[in-house]
């Protein structure tokens, strides 16, 4: 069946069919204008787990998402498809996670893991495997970008999008990153893992020179070393701490004015890295490291919409740290966030009607 025939026969008001692609849509990755890349990886998580199941859980929950979006008329016609979830990567993550837990437990007991030959070997193996994952993600996303697709990534933990950001760094000479996150993620090789989920933005700043500006919003859990990275970044990092955001609002500043100010810090091309724990934890109770505070759903969506309204272009994004837990609540939130962000990305790229 041709793409035109699929669009003609598809009823967006029906329930999503489970044998279809993400959001119940009938498109293949070859036909779609937006490809979602799943990365089921959570080797270096330092507290709760479960994000490895994030891509699959978001896919399943997406079947319940209504496809009408007033922000982009006939948004479903855009064509969205998710790549197949890589089972081998998921299996390797589970194996290495068991090794990482032994290593982290030793650290937590106050011992020097590197004085233990076995633990030193585990650290080395995890660092090498994490780098392979990053290179895999870079290759996959670069191929989709080269074929003219808009790309989104679903983790996994927050280490997963580095390869994607590196791929964009080879296409764009200059862009900015908006990070919505409870954490600064500016730790250097946290717990000895070079590509720890807590080191993602440290690694972006170090390895992707095209990222001229990192703007963080909702940050509320961070260490002194991370504050020093921000202070000594010469303006490359601008952090809007959650407490400061809230106090400005309490003192009468409008959300609109604050969001415009945040967006003005960003260059023309913008990548969005959305850790689900940037939201109020009632919206993501099962995520690995929930922290009190954060954005309401529509508050975060308004910030992202402000990017589009400013005339900036969203060149890609990730959603990570979605952990389904014992129910589908976190995945329901993640799936709806994914759909909204896809449509915003499309509109920022000049697609205004379908």
| Chain segment 233-265, per-residue pLDDT in tens | 999 999 999 999 999 999 999 999 999 999 999
- CA-to-CA distance for 145 and 127, rounded, in angstroms? 27
Answer whether 272's CB lies under 8 Å from 295's CB: no
Look at residue 272 and tell me if it is in a domain.
Answer: yes
* Rounded Cα gap, residues 14 and 98, in angstroms: 42
Residue 134 three-state SS? helix
pLDDT digits (tens, 9 = 90+) for 120-151: 888 899 999 999 999 999 999 999 999 999 99
| Residue 249 CB coordination number (10 Å) | 14
**Helix boundaries (H) for 10-113:** 54-62, 87-108
Whether 270 is covered by a domain: the verdict is: yes
Give the pLDDT confidence of 59-81 residue by residue, as tens digits.
999 999 999 999 999 999 999 99
What's the rounded Cα separation, in Å, for the pair 72 and 27? 19
- Look at residue 104 in the predicted model and tell me its pLDDT: 76
Q: How many domains does the chain have?
A: 1
Q: Is 193 helix (H, G, I), strand (E, B) or coil?
A: coil
Q: Which phi and psi (to 5°) does residue 318 adopt?
A: -130, 155
- Which residues, 6+ apart, have CB-to-CB distance to 275 below 8 Å? 158, 179, 180, 181, 182, 183, 185, 320, 321
Query: What end-to-end distance do the CA atoms of the chain give, in Å?
Result: 20
The burial of 13, by beta-carbon neighbours within 10 Å (0-12 exposed, 13-18 middle, 19 or more buried), is given as exposed
CA distance 332 to 59: 9
Q: Which CATH number belongs to the domain containing residue 142 in this structure?
A: 3.40.800.10
Q: Helix 242-250 vs helix 255-264: angle between axes, to the nearest 10 degrees?
A: 140
C-alpha of 332 from chain center: 16
Q: Quick: pLDDT tens for 292-322.
A: 999 999 999 999 999 999 999 999 999 999 9
Return phi, psi of residue 340, to 5°: -65, -45
| pLDDT for the residue numbered 99 | 86
Residue 40 in any domain: the answer is yes
The boundaries of the domain holding residue 197 are: 3-348
Inside any domain, residue 353: no
Q: Please check the confidence at residue 18 and state whether its pLDDT lies above 70.
A: no
Structure tokens at 289: 């490291």
In this prediction, residue 240 carries a pLDDT of: 98
Asked if residues 175 and 271 have their Cβ atoms less than 8 Å apart, the reply is yes
Residue 16 confidence class, pLDDT cut points 50, 70, 90: low
Residue 265: C-alpha distances to residues 229, 280, 327 (Å): 18, 24, 38
Does any domain span residue 42? yes
* 354 falls within a domain: no
Asked whether residue 200 is domain-assigned, the answer is yes
Which is nearest to 160 in space by CA: 281, 291, 275, 238?
Answer: 275
Helix axes 54-62, 329-348, angle to 10 degrees: 80
- What average pLDDT does this structure show over 225-231? 98
Q: What angle do CA 336, 338, 342 make, to 5 degrees?
A: 120
pTM: 0.96
Confidence label for 105 from pLDDT (cuts 50, 70 and 90):
confident
Report the C-alpha gap between 114 and 131 in whole angstroms: 20
197 vs 19, higher pLDDT: 197
Section 194-201 average pLDDT: 94
- Indicate the burial class of 255 (C-beta count within 10 angstroms; 0-12, 13-18, 19 or more): middle
């Amino acid at each position: 069946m041709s793409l035109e025939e699929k669009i003609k026969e598809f009823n967006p008001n029906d329930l999503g069919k489970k044998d279809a692609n993400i959001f119940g849509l009938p498109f293949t990755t070859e036909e779609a204008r937006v490809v979602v890349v799943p990365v089921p990886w959570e080797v270096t998580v330092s507290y709760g787990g479960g994000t490895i199941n994030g891509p699959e859980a978001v896919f399943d929950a997406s079947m319940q998402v209504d496809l009408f979006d007033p922000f982009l008329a006939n948004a479903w016609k855009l064509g969205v498809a998710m790549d197949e979830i890589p089972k081998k990567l998921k299996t390797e993550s589970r194996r290495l996670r068991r090794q990482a837990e032994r290593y982290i437990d030793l650290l937590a007991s106050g011992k020097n893991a590197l004085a233990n030959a076995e633990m030193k070997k585990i650290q080395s193996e995890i660092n090498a495997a994490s780098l392979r994952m990053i290179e895999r993600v870079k290759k996959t996303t670069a191929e989709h970008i080269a074929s003219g697709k808009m790309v989104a990534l679903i983790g996994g933990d927050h280490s997963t999008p580095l390869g994607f950001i590196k791929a964009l760094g080879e296409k764009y000479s200059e862009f900015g990153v908006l990070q919505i996150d409870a954490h600064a993620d500016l730790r250097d090789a946290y717990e000895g893992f070079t590509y720890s989920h807590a080191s993602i933005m440290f690694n972006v700043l170090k390895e992707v020179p095209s990222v001229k500006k990192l703007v963080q919003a909702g940050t509320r859990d961070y260490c002194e070393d991370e504050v020093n990275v921000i202070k000594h970044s010469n303006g490359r990092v601008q952090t809007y701490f959650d407490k400061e955001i809230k106090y400005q609002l309490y003192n009468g500043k409008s959300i609109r004015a604050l969001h415009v100010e945040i967006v003005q810090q960003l260059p023309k091309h913008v990548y969005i890295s959305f850790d689900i724990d940037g939201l109020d934890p009632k919206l993501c109770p099962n995520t690995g490291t929930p922290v009190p505070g954060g954005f309401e759903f529509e508050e975060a969506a308004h910030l992202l919409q402000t990017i589009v309204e400013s005339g900036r272009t969203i060149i890609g994004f990730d959603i990570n740290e979605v952990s389904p837990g014992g129910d589908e609540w976190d995945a329901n939130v993640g799936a709806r966030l994914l759909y909204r962000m896809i449509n915003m990305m499309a509109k920022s790229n000049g697609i205004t009607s379908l």
